[in-house]
């Protein structure tokens, strides 16, 4: 939780956190600022002090919406530095980093660098800063970073917000179901009133528009049919017609419009009817889903439900990424992951995970079975929280019917 940050900084011996901003979404930036549309600048948090924001003068107005103290580049003398350095922007940029740290009350110490942007730029800046200003140590971090640790548990505000997003996503799923159902069929294809086929692209377009109606934005949904559905991360070919009796894996993980928290859920649909082998796989995936939901509780190793699901699938003759790490058939991925401002957070529900569940986690559970050469794939996914009572509660209010019947 956000309230843990100072303590997490102390554990890493960090004097300050510096989030370098760009026009890419950064969860670290939005976590510290509450979410502001700034496309360059820095957020600096000294330990035991509130963050400050340093932005381009054009973005001061936007930055002030955060309620944090805002400095513009000119407040901190960027123009003078540029003059002093005779127009050498790289030199001026580095000297300006130091001015910003000083403005945050950090004249020396270990500074953790976060944010999202161009690898080439940050590598160069940090290497040179370290040489030039030995009073600082500039540190990166991999694995369970300070933000991963803070994101592990959500406070009541965050949970409320994510619950609300789940309700809106449920409405988008229902609208999409109804949209497809309103079509007819011809030659084993779903068709529009004029007899032309309903394509994957048309459905995706419908979903994106419906997301916008609920102030959500698509982050590259999966709507993949038949053989495509057999590859967990294939995006679905947009000109393909939707066909009867094909498994469609529909994985939607939208974000609040303009950046913020996510929801993540997957349904598998067969329009008109479900072939036996798809139905059989579906029933097994649902059993795996239910048995995971059954066992998860605070304090448990996050790998435990994955191992239980792998046991379950292996006992039924499926390969898993534990029994055969190279397989592309069977159950080939993790059971789930933490979710928040990033689609993938901790805890990891992989059989290699060293994480443990705790109250305040928001996670996905998403078992699946994939048989691309047999032309199908199946996955079911809900988002869950582990509440104050230690119960696992679904945040995805939408049914899990496999067969989507056409109305006409």
| Residue 209 sits in the site that holds a second copy (CB under 8 A) | yes
- Restricted to residues 12-31, the positions that interact with a second copy (CB under 8 A) are 20, 22-25
Residues 334-353 within binding reach of a second copy (CB under 8 A) = 343, 352
Tokens of 399: 């049914």
Tell me if 117 contacts a second copy by CB under 8 A: yes
We find the least distance from the C-beta atom of residue 287 to a second copy, in angstroms, to be 23
- Shortest spacing between CB 135 and a second copy, in angstroms: 18
Reading the block at residue 120, the tokens are: 């080439």
Verify binding: residue 356, a second copy, rule CB under 8 A: no
Which residue's CB is nearer to a second copy, number 49 or number 144?
144
Sequence-ordered list of residues with C-beta below 8 angstroms from that of 14, at least 6 positions apart, any chain: 47, 109, 110, 111, 112, 139, 146
By beta-carbon proximity to a second copy, the closer residue of 109 and 184 is: 109
Residue 127: CB minimum distance to a second copy, A: 7
Nearer to a second copy, 128 or 279 (CB): 128
Are 103 and 113 within 8 A, CB to CB?
no
From the list 198, 168, 167, 201, the residue with the least C-alpha distance to 181 is 198
Longest dimension (CA), the chain: 75
Q: How far is the CB of 393 from a second copy (least distance, A)?
A: 27
Q: Which of 293, 328, 403, 406 binds a second copy (CB under 8 A)?
A: 328
Which position has the token pair 């080439």? 120
Alpha carbon distance 84, 100 (integer Å): 17
**Interacting stretch for a second copy, rule CB under 8 A, among 42-50, 101-109, 124-132, 373-381?**
124-132
Q: From the CB of 122, what's the least distance to a second copy, in Å?
A: 5
CA-CA distance, 326 to 8, in Å (whole number)? Answer: 37
**Is there binding between residue 121 and a second copy (CB under 8 A)?**
yes
Nearest to 198 by CA among 176, 216, 220: 176
**Piece of the chain touching a second copy by CB under 8 A; list 308-316, 324-332, 358-366, 382-390:** 324-332
Q: Which stretch binds a second copy (CB under 8 A): 42-50, 106-114, 191-199, 244-252?
A: 106-114
Residue 406 near a second copy by CB under 8 A: no
Per-residue HEC secondary structure of 376-404 comes to EEEECEEEEEECCCCCEEECCCCCCCCEE
Q: CB–CB of 71/103 below 8 Å?
A: yes
Binding to a second copy in span 215-254, by CB under 8 A: 219-220, 228, 231-235
* From 15, 33, 66, 93, residue interacting with a second copy (rule: CB under 8 A): 93
- Tell me which residue of 204, 187, 205 sits closest to 196, measured CA to CA: 187
Eight-state DSSP code of residue 50: -
Minimum CB–partner distance for residue 408 and a second copy (Å): 26
Of 333, 337, 351, 379, which lies in the binding site for a second copy, with binding defined by CB under 8 A?
333
Q: Does 112 participate in binding a second copy (rule CB under 8 A)?
A: yes
Other CB atoms within a 10 A radius of the CB of residue 243 amount to 19
Q: Which stretch binds a second copy (CB under 8 A): 50-58, 271-279, 285-293, 306-314?
A: 50-58
- Name the burial class of residue 137, with classes exposed (0-12), middle (13-18) and buried (19+) by CB atoms within 10 angstroms of its CB: middle
Neighbours of 56 (CB within 10 A): 17
Closest-CA residue to 222 (of 234, 212, 210): 234
Q: Does 79 bind a second copy (CB under 8 A)?
A: yes
Q: Measured at the alpha carbon of residue 141, what is the angle toward residues 384 and 147, in degrees to the nearest 5?
A: 35
Residues 6+ apart with CB under 8 A from 364: 264, 265, 336, 337, 339, 349, 381, 382, 383, 384
With respect to a second copy, which residue has the nearer C-beta, 229 or 274? 229
Question: Interface residues with a second copy (CB under 8 A)?
Answer: 20, 22-25, 37, 39, 56-62, 74, 79, 82, 87, 89-90, 93, 112-127, 138-143, 145, 205, 208-209, 212-213, 219-220, 228, 231-235, 258, 325-326, 328, 332-333, 343, 352, 372
């Amino acid at each position: 939780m956000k309230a843990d940050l100072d303590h997490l900084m102390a554990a890493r011996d960090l004097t300050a956190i510096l989030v370098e901003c760009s026009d890419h979404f950064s969860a670290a930036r939005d976590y510290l600022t509450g979410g502001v549309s700034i496309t360059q600048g820095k957020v600096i948090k000294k330990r035991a002090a509130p963050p400050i924001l340093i932005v381009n003068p054009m973005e001061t107005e936007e930055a002030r919406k955060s309620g944090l103290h805002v400095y513009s580049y000119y407040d901190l003398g960027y123009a003078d530095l540029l003059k002093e350095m005779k127009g050498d922007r790289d030199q001026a940029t580095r000297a300006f980093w130091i001015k910003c740290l000083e403005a945050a009350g950090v004249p020396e110490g270990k500074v953790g660098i976060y944010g999202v942007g161009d690898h080439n730029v940050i590598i160069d800046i940090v290497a040179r800063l370290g040489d030039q200003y030995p009073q600082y140590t500039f540190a990166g971090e991999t694995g369970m970073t300070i933000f991963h640790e803070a994101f592990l548990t959500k406070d009541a505000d965050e949970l409320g917000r994510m619950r609300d997003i789940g309700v809106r996503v449920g409405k988008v799923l229902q609208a999409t179901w109804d949209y497809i159902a309103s079509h007819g069929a011809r030659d084993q294809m779903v068709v529009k009133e004029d007899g032309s086929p309903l394509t994957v692209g048309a459905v995706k377009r419908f979903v994106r528009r419906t997301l916008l109606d609920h102030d959500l934005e698509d982050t590259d949904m999966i709507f993949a049919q038949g053989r495509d559905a057999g590859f967990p991360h294939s995006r679905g070919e947009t000109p393909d017609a939707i066909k009867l009796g094909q498994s469609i894996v529909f994985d939607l993980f939208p974000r609040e419009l303009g950046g913020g928290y996510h929801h993540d859920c997957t349904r598998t649909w067969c329009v008109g009817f479900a072939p036996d082998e798809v139905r059989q796989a579906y029933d097994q995936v649902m059993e795996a889903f239910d048995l995971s939901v059954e066992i998860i509780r605070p304090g448990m190793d996050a790998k435990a439900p994955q191992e239980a699901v792998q046991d379950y699938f292996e006992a039924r003759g499926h390969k898993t990424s534990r029994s055969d790490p190279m397989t592309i058939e069977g159950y080939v991925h993790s059971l789930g992951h933490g979710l928040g401002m990033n689609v993938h957070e901790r805890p990891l529900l992989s059989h290699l995970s060293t994480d443990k569940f705790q109250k305040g986690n928001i996670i996905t559970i998403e078992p699946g079975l994939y048989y691309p050469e047999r032309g199908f794939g199946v996955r079911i996914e809900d988002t869950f929280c582990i509440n104050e009572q230690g119960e696992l509660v679904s945040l995805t209010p939408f049914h899990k019917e496999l067969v989507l019947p056409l109305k006409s």
